Amino acid sequence: MLELFIENLPTLIALIITGVFAGLLAGLLGVGGGIVIVPVLFFLFQSFGVSPESAITIATATSLATIIPTSISSIRAHHKKGNVDFALFKRWVPFILVGVIAGSWLVTIVDGKWLSGLFGVIAILAAINILSRNGVSSIRDTLPGTPGQFGMASSIGFFSSMVGIGGGTLSIPMLTACSYPVHRAVGTAAAIGFIISLPGALMLLVVGTTPQDAPVGTIGLVNFIGFLCIVPMTVLFAPVGASLGNKLNPEKLKSVFAVLLVITGARMIAQLLI
């Protein structure tokens, strides 16, 4: 047992650092952990001999699993401030689930290179949204009707579950583009993250086939060692990041993070082209 622990100590340390990094950024910049966890795990697993195709599917599933407890904590915090629109959330749940089920199923059958390319595109779009957020006017005065909201909610569930993010990356810009109050969008995104991560992670745990080159501790497509290392650090360091955010210039930090997202996204797209 001790030999196994020593043998995997570098992996454990790297996973703990991933959780610290994700927690700090989540608190510091208000970004979802998945947008950080997925690329870090993707490159980390490859450094330990896992193929890119296996690494991206395991990173996606593990990221979704880590979002479950953190989204519950986030929902509670936002609910206390009255920023969770449960009426909208209840209306969107069936639509989101349709997208999550379809997206999670595709993760189990599609070539992993396409998933890394998709994440790269979403990361670059997220970076553009961060850089252009200030001063951008809304596209609509209100949310669209039921067909339009079905398209919004199902696409959020579909793409988020395919790349292992909680939904805030997509739902917040979509909602604010329809003149939805930003604080309500952020709070409601936490609830959306839960309804994406729970069924998405369960599907990838049960339906996903563990790759032969998967890192130790992987069941289905979820790496439980990664989950156990990342979640406590994320919860512990998110408040630290929030505290630092009050002392540092958040706009400059967001710009730096956006540039890093572009670089990361470009590298992941490159995996598709190689």
Q: Which residues contact 129 (CB under 8 A, 6 or more apart)?
A: 173
Cα–Cα distance, 97 to 166 (Å, whole number): 13
CA distances (Å), origin 29, targets 23, 92, 95, 122: 10, 26, 29, 18
Residue 220, classed as helix, strand or coil, is coil
220: left (phi over 0), alpha (psi -120 to 50) or beta: left
Spell out the per-residue pLDDT of the chain, length 274, in tens: 556 556 667 778 888 988 888 877 776 666 667 888 998 899 889 988 899 999 999 999 999 999 888 888 778 877 887 888 999 999 999 999 999 999 999 999 998 889 999 999 998 988 888 777 654 556 778 888 989 999 999 999 999 999 998 877 888 888 888 888 878 888 888 889 899 999 999 999 999 999 999 988 899 999 999 999 999 998 888 777 767 766 767 667 777 778 888 888 898 888 777 6
Q: Return the biggest CA–CA distance within the chain.
A: 61
pLDDT value of residue 135: 46
Cα–Cα distance, 219 to 228 (Å, whole number): 13
pLDDT value of residue 62: 96
Q: Which domain holds residue 19?
A: 2-273
Contact assessment for residue 238 and residue 77, using Cβ atoms and an 8 Å cutoff:
no
Residue 226's nearest CA partner among 30, 75, 8 is 8
Residue 67, classed as helix, strand or coil, is helix
Contact assessment for residue 44 and residue 254, using Cβ atoms and an 8 Å cutoff:
no
Number of domains in the chain: 1
